[in-house]
């Protein structure tokens, strides 16, 4: 029986990857190298500091920890200038509707995101009230594919993981859901998300009927 749905944020509810990309590209430019959209793919679902490590690897640069922290902070300041201007029309197709349907059906909802800016983003999109529980990068120590973020979500909802379904766009996120003992719906390409129990192109393709078939 499905009692809760847990959602990743970037790539499932909203596309923040494009803003992460502009901000990281600026940091790479300051450091003197190109950071392409293809490189950016490697940052999806990855924490801020781990993203910086990937960027520095691309540029072949090594820096001491305190300098890395300054760069990560600067990237975030730049990223926030975009995030603070986001509008509800940037919610990905079907996401709001599906969250509302779950509430009508009495199915609990949680956010499970690596982002430390998740609360700001949900507020800008006017979606905060549609989540019963929000677990983000401020409450987790271990990154996906570790199941921590989703287990904390289920725990806060007081629902057994076996009654939970996770919606994820990143391979590491799908692995985290499976490691948590949950079912997973992949959002995106079936080739990349082959470990998910079901893959759809977006939440606009999800229905309660499809959910119930996952039990
Ligand atoms: P922040 P998700 C992730 O969001 C992004 O996909 C990833 O690119 C980003 O580095 C990470 O959040 C941390 O974001 O710098 O805002 O803390 O997919 O886990 O919702
Ligand atoms: Mg994601």
Task: Give the model confidence (pLDDT) of 111-139 as tens digits.
Answer: 999 999 999 999 999 999 999 999 999 99
The CA distance from 163 to 15, in Å, is 27
The residue to mutate among 48, 52, 95, having the most atoms of ligand 1 within 8 angstroms of its beta carbon, is: 48
Q: Checking DSSP bridges between strand 133-135 and strand 183-187, what pairing results, if any?
A: unpaired
Is CATH 1.10.150.240 the classification given to domain 17-83?
Answer: yes
The residues spanned by each domain of the chain are: 4-14+88-212, 17-83
User: 215 falls in which pLDDT band (50, 70, 90)?
Assistant: confident
Mean pLDDT of the chain: 97
Ligand 1 atom at minimum distance from 170 CA: 18
Is CATH 3.40.50.1000 the classification given to domain 4-14+88-212?
Answer: yes
pLDDT in tens, 27-68: 999 999 999 999 998 998 899 999 999 999 999 999 999 999
Q: What is the pTM of this model?
A: 0.95
Q: Is 140 in the pocket of ligand 1 (CB under 6 A)?
A: no
Give the per-residue pLDDT at 112: 98
Enter the tokens of residue 63.
């820096």
Q: What share of the chain has pLDDT > 70, as a percent?
A: 100
Enter the tokens of residue 110.
């949680």
Q: Is 116 in the pocket of ligand 1 (CB under 6 A)?
A: yes
* 98 close to 203: Cβ distance less than 8 angstroms: yes
Evaluate the CA torsion angle 143, 145, 148, 151 in order and state its sign.
positive
* 100 close to 130: Cβ distance less than 8 angstroms: yes
Give the per-residue pLDDT at 115: 96
Ligand 2 center to 72 CA (angstroms) = 19
Q: Is 48 in the pocket of ligand 1 (CB under 6 A)?
A: yes
> Which residue has 């996401």 as its token pair?
95
Evaluate the CA torsion angle 160, 146, 14, 138 in order and state its sign.
positive
The CA distance from 58 to 39, in Å, is 8
With b meaning 16 or more CB within 10 Å and e meaning fewer, what string describes 173-199?
Answer: bbbbbbbbebbbbbbbeeeebeebbbb
Ligand 1 atom at minimum distance from 9 CA: 20
Number of Cβ within 10 Å of residue 24's Cβ equals: 24
* 31 close to 65: Cβ distance less than 8 angstroms: no
* 62 close to 56: Cβ distance less than 8 angstroms: yes
Q: Is 144 in the pocket of ligand 1 (CB under 6 A)?
A: no
| Whether residue 71 has pLDDT greater than 80 | yes
Looking at the CA of 111, which ligand is closest? 1
User: 23 falls in which pLDDT band (50, 70, 90)?
Assistant: very high
| Whether residue 155 has pLDDT greater than 80 | yes
The residue to mutate among 114, 124, 167, 175, having the most atoms of ligand 1 within 8 angstroms of its beta carbon, is: 114
Task: Tell me if 4-14+88-212 shares its fold with 17-83.
Answer: no
Q: Is 113 in the pocket of ligand 1 (CB under 6 A)?
A: yes
Task: Give the alpha-carbon dihedral of 147, 148, 149, 152, to 10 degrees.
Answer: 120
* Interval 89-103 mean pLDDT: 98
Q: Which residues pair with 198 in a beta bridge?
A: 185
Give the per-residue pLDDT at 89: 98
């Amino acid at each position: 029986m499905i009692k809760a749905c847990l959602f990743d944020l970037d790539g499932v509810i909203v596309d923040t990857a494009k803003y992460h990309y502009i901000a990281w590209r600026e940091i790479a430019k300051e450091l003197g190298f190109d950071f392409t959209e293809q490189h950016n793919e490697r940052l999806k679902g990855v924490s801020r500091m781990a993203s910086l490590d990937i960027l520095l690897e691309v540029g072949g640069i090594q820096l001491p920890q305190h300098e890395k922290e300054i760069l990560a902070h600067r990237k975030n300041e730049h990223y926030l200038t975009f995030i603070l201007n986001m509008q509800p029309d940037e919610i990905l197709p079907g996401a709001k509707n599906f969250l509302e349907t779950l509430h009508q059906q009495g199915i609990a909802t949680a956010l499970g995101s690596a982002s430390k800016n998740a609360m700001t983003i949900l507020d800008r999109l006017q979606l905060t009230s549609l989540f019963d529980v929000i677990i983000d990068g401020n409450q987790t120590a271990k990154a996906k594919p570790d199941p921590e973020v989703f287990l904390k979500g289920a725990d806060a909802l007081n629902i057994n993981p076996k009654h939970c379904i996770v919606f994820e766009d990143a391979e590491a996120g799908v692995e985290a859901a499976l490691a948590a003992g949950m079912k997973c719906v992949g959002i995106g390409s079936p080739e990349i998300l082959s470990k998910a129990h079901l893959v759809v192109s977006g939440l606009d393709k999800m229905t309660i009927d499809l959910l119930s078939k996952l039990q």
